Amino acid sequence: MTTKVGNFMNTAKGMALAGVIAATMAAVSGAASASPFGGVAAGVLNPYRQEMARLGDRIVELAEVERRVMAMNEDLEWATQSLMEVTAEVESVIVDDDRITPRQQLRLIADVLSDGLARVRRDAAFRNIKVGPLPRVMEARDSWSSDDLSRLEAKESDLVASIDSYSSENEAALEVIRQVSKKLDHVILAADLKDSDELEAFDVLVEAMDLLPGGEAAAADEPAQP
Amino acid sequence: METSEKVMIACLLISEGGEEDAVREFISVLEEGISLGERDAVDLHAKLMRRMDGPLPDGPAGAVIRLMKAKRDHDAVRRRYGMAVEGLSKALSILSQPIKGDLSARIMVTRAMSAIGEVREAVGA
C-alpha cells in the first residue's frame, strides 16, 4: 500500500524535492545555505519569495520579536519552576499524623501554599516579571489563627490578573508572529498575494511591529537630530 | 501539523533550493499523511523538526524559522505554566471551602493533596 508521501515522492516534483530534503538533512553539521532564496534565478519572484523579500526589509524587527519572545519564555519557565517548588513544599508537609487534627492539617497545607505563592508573587514583582494569571494568595493571615478554617476563604482566591498580565509590547510581539505565520501559511498553501484580507493582515503586522523599539512609530517619537 | 511547523518547513526547503510548487504539494501530502497516521509522514515530520535545531539559512528565512521556534517554545511553556496555575487554583479553591466537621476536613485534605499531586504529574517537574 502506498502512502501520501510515498506517492508524491514518486512524481518528478517529489523526486527533485527528495534531493533537496536529503541535502538539507545532511547540512545539520555544516553551514546552511548562504542564500535566503536558494538557487532561484534572479528576477523571478514567486509569492513565497515576494513575501520573504518583504520580510527581509524587517529583519531587525523580526530579531527583536524573537528576543522578546525568548525573554517571555524565560520568565514563564522561571514562574513555572517557582510554582513547582511551592507544590513540592506543600507535598513535603506531613499531614498523615494522628497527633494533628484534620483541621490543623488543612491549616498547615493552606499556610505553606499561601506562603509559597506569596513568595512567588513577591519574587516576580522584584524581578519585574510579567507572566500569565497567578492564583491570588489568600489574605487575612491573622484569621488563620482561628480554628474556623472557613475564614480562610480567600477574598482573592479566584484567578485575577494583577502583576501578571502580559504587557502590550509582549502581546505585540506574539501578534507579529501570528501574522507572519498566518501570512506565510496562506502564501504556501494558496500561492496568492491578491487576497485583500491577507493584505490587510500584513498591514496589521506592520503596525504591530511599529510598537517595538526600532519600529517606525518608535522612530517618529524620537526627537529630530540637530 | 501546526501552522508554525508548515512555515518552518517551507522556509527551510525553499531556501535550500526547493521549488515552491513542490514544497507546497509536499507540505500538503505530509499533513494528510500525518492525519492518516502514516508512519513515513510521521517520521519525516519528526526528522524535519529535529533539523530545525541545526544551522539555519541566513536572511529572512532563518529569521522566520527562529521566530516560529520561539513561538513553539512559548506555547509549550505557557501550557505548562497554565497547568501549574490551574492545579494550584484548584487546591486553593478546595482549601477555602467551609468545613463542616472532622470528616469534611479529612476529605478536603485528601482532595487538596490530590490536586497538588496532579500539578506535579501534569507539569512533569
Query: Which carries the bigger pLDDT value, residue A201 or residue A137?
Result: A201
Touching check for A1 and chain B: CB below 8 Å? no
The complex's ipTM works out to 0.85
Query: What's the pLDDT score for residue A3?
Result: 93
Please, which residues 31-70 of chain A have a Cβ atom closer than 8 Å to chain B?
31-40, 46-49, 52-53, 55-56, 58-59, 62-63, 65-66, 69-70
pLDDT in tens, A151-207: 444 433 333 333 344 566 677 777 778 878 877 777 776 655 455 455 455 555 556
Task: Flag whether the pTM goes above 0.95.
Answer: no
Q: What mean pLDDT is predicted for residues A138-147?
A: 42
Question: Which residues of chain A lie closer than 8 angstroms to B112, CB-CB?
Answer: 106, 109
What digits encode the pLDDT tens for the residues A25-74? 886 544 444 444 444 444 445 777 777 887 887 788 788 888 888 888 88
User: What's the confidence (pLDDT) of residue A121?
Assistant: 77
pLDDT tens digits, B11-34: 999 888 898 889 999 999 999 999
Chain A residues closer than 8 Å to B60 by CB: 36, 52-53, 55-56, 58-59, 62
Q: Which DSSP state fits A37?
A: T
For residue B77, the chain A residues in CB contact (below 8 A) are: 73, 76-77, 80
Closest CA to A187 of B45, A66, A195, A205: A195
